[in-house]
Amino acid sequence: MKEISQDRAREYGVTSSHSLMDNGELRYRLVSTDGSAYVRVEASADGGWQNSHYHKAVLETYIIQKGWAAFVELDRGIVLWKIMQPGDVYTTRREVSHNVYLPAGAVIHVVKHGGNGAEADWYADSVLDSQTKHLTEDQILLKGQ
């Protein structure tokens, strides 16, 4: 095996980018020019919601590593809830809004695939945010039962 540099990876179309999100999450990303990506997400010390959104082309596969995650979708006006545990895997559906709540200490992996890389494919959904972001962790757990 031979290590390659960040510059060489970029020549192959892959970059890394890491962020501290507004909700306190840490995100570590590998992103390809073809629109695919891998993201390791570490929840904040307080936990919190991400932002509701949907994709027209990209699919996101969520893998729970540590803790749990609440996964919510808005499908034809109905809010659907899942509480996911370590080892659970779920892939989103195109044009179905979704969001994730992570409690403190949770770690998930997200694989983005199926896009063409030609344009941004992230569309906000304030309706789903208005139905979920105000809920406490206890309320989230009750909805996921």
What pLDDT was estimated at residue 119? 67
101 exposure class (CB count in 10 Å sphere: 0-12, 13-18, 19+): buried
3-class DSSP state of 17: strand
What pLDDT was estimated at residue 16? 94
* Side-chain-side CA neighbours of residue 139 (13 Å): 6
- What are the pLDDT digits (tens) for 83-107? 999 999 999 999 999 999 999 999 9
Q: Does the global pTM surpass 0.85?
A: yes
Average pLDDT in the 50-63 region?
Answer: 96
Token look-up 């063409």 returns 116
pLDDT band at 118 (very low <50, low <70, confident <90, very high): low
Which helix (H) or strand (E) is 29 found in, with range?
A: strand 26-32
What pLDDT was estimated at residue 23? 93
Specify the CATH number for 6-143; select among 2.170.120.12, 2.60.120.10, 3.30.565.10, 1.10.10.10. 2.60.120.10
Average pLDDT in the 4-11 region?
Answer: 93
**Contacts of 25 by beta carbon, 8 Å cutoff, 6+ apart:** 41, 42, 43, 44, 48, 50, 102
- For the chain, give every domain's residue range: 6-143
Give yes or no for residue 141 having a pLDDT over 70: yes
Return the structure tokens found at 15.
Answer: 């970059």
pLDDT band at 115 (very low <50, low <70, confident <90, very high): confident
pLDDT band at 116 (very low <50, low <70, confident <90, very high): confident
- What are the pLDDT digits (tens) for 21-34? 999 999 999 999 88
